[in-house]
Amino acid sequence: MFLAEIRKREAARQLADVERNADAIRARCKTFSGFVREAWHVLEPTTRYIHSWHIEAICQHLEAVTDRRITRLLINVPPGSMKSLLVSVLWPAWEWGPKGLRSLRYLATAFNEGPVKRDTRKSRDLILSAWYQALWPEVRLVRTGETSFANSDTGTREGVAFNSLTSQRGDRLIIDDPHSIKTAESETEREGVTRGFREGALNRLNNQAESAIVIIMQRLHEKDISGVILALKMPFVHLRLPMEYERGNPCTTPLGFVDPRQYEGELLCPERFSASTIAQMKSDTTAYAWAGQYQQRPAPREGGMFQRRWFGEPVAAAPISTNVVRAWDLAATEAGGDWTVGLRMSRAPSGIFYIEHIERLRGSALDVKKAVLNLASAANDSKRVKVRLPQDVGQAGKGQVADYARDLAGWLLDVERETGSKEVRAAPFAAQCEAGNVRLVAGPWVETFLSELETFPMGAHDDQVDAASGAFTSLVNPTTLARQVPFNLMGR
């Protein structure tokens, strides 16, 4: 009873202070970042608020949405950056209260109901708090559910799991971490989420021209929702805030924002995450997790299975060799999708492997076949270069190989049925790369090849890696060399 009475008196004193200073508090809450500072004690009464330039940046971009300067906003930030509190909890309360936009309707979502319920409750409780009601009493809630509440001016906030975004609409669609860390690595689960975004979420707006979509998330995969937005060049303003600054990859936005950090590795908010804390976090997590979730670059910059520095500077030419192969990774996609890749690799008498040339194209099955035949006949390849083709499991794959074999009569033809995962097949090649036994011949393809290696196996494409793995296997496997010709195409 005694403690309860003390708390009651303290609450009354605080409320009296708010009422006495109401005009000054409202003035400070005209900006969203000012509201965040003022409202913090209601949400986190025992935790000291630490302001940072990255919070200011997020607030300014959300203000641009409120002011209708932008209607599509994508924010990539690390865990622990107040992303859910800012976007899913505080922003709706600010628009209803200080901005007076009480009729706005919000549709807020996350990967499952856990964070949806958590953030709906927090936003509801903030609006119902004595502090908020003393300042903006015109915001009266008439419905206060666990995942849904409404005010007396027809404004609503509906919270749903991402896979339940059906039959509801809003003036604001808030998507907060739509992917689960546990399922983002699953191609089926990930593609289900991205398909749901493109086919179901984008049409959940009350007004396509004026309603807004705000996405805030950590990166989990090259092909997550952020990756889809960037790859398709959707008209989203992209605010990307990595934990450690990368001078070669700074973020700028059309609103005039420029990442204010200057030196490599400068931290996002050292007051919250110190250098020693970051060092421990990096030690405890994997390189892939750090690159995606914390650096917003879902593949390690220094490489996963492959690292750029292993290859040194490209050389002008490869030594003359009689052990040369052009390995193909075949696809038949005319627009988008996988690439067809033909990679020529040689093994010098010294034992060093040279990647001499890469052909990369998208086209129909006929276009692919023409490319294979044309390169085989080209002066740089000719019949001195073995042609390696992958054979798909099944009769169709055998038929394709037989078709190619007829047109490549006179060439050394190596056909292998690929087994095991891409990572397993790439491992022997990666080991030689790490040992410094692989060189690249200078050419316009080098940068694209190295970029794909760096992101493998988390990248959007792995066709060049597959071709390199196949070429390497063909050059070093004596069993493969022994059965080049003749062989029974249909019986292998």
Provide the terminal-to-terminal Cα distance of the chain, rounded to the nearest Å.
85
What pLDDT does residue 200 have? 86
* pTM over 0.85, yes/no: no
How far is residue 269's CA from residue 242's CA, in Å, rounded to a whole number?
Answer: 10
Name beta bridge partners: 258: 252
**Is there a common fold for 2-294 and 308-491?**
no
In Å, how far from its chain's centre is CA 369?
34
Q: Answer yes or no: is pLDDT of 479 > 50.
A: no
Judged by DSSP in three states, 301 sits in coil
Going 68 to 71 to 76 to 77, the CA torsion angle's sign is positive
Token pair belonging to 462: 């792995």
Q: Do the Cβ atoms of 297 and 222 come closer than 8 Å? A: no
Domain 2-294 coded CATH 3.40.30: no
CA atoms within 13 A on the CB side of 110: 23
For 131-150, the pLDDT digits (tens) are 999 999 999 999 999 999 99
Name the strand (E) or helix (H) holding 491.
none
DSSP-derived secondary structure letter, 153: T
Q: Do the Cβ atoms of 65 and 212 come closer than 8 Å? A: yes
What pLDDT does residue 483 have? 39
CA distances to 43, 147, 171 from 113, in Å: 20, 9, 21
Share of the chain above pLDDT 70, in %: 90
153-169 burial, b at 16+ Cβ within 10 Å, e below that, comes to eebbbbbbbbeebeeee
Q: Region 413-441: what's the mean pLDDT?
A: 90
What pLDDT does residue 492 have? 35
State which of 14-18, 193-197, 288-292, 301-305 shows the largest mean pLDDT: 193-197
175-47-217 Cα angle (round to 5): 20
What pLDDT does residue 379 have? 75
279-314 burial, b at 16+ Cβ within 10 Å, e below that, comes to eebeeeeeebbbbbbbbbbbbbbebbbbbeebbeee
Lowest-pLDDT choice from 98-107, 284-293, 440-449: 284-293
For 97-115, the pLDDT digits (tens) are 999 999 999 999 999 999 9
Q: In the structure, what pLDDT confidence band is assigned to residue 394 with cuts at 50, 70 and 90?
A: very low
Domain ranges of the chain: 2-294, 308-491
Q: Region 34-55: what's the mean pLDDT?
A: 96
Name beta bridge partners: 11: none
State which of 162-166, 377-381, 463-467 shows the largest mean pLDDT: 463-467
Token pair belonging to 482: 């022994």
Q: Answer yes or no: is pLDDT of 92 > 90.
A: yes
For domain 308-491, give its CATH number from 2.130.10.10, 1.10.1740.10, 3.30.420.240, 3.40.50.1000: 3.30.420.240
Q: In the structure, what pLDDT confidence band is assigned to residue 7 with cuts at 50, 70 and 90?
A: low
What pLDDT does residue 287 have? 73
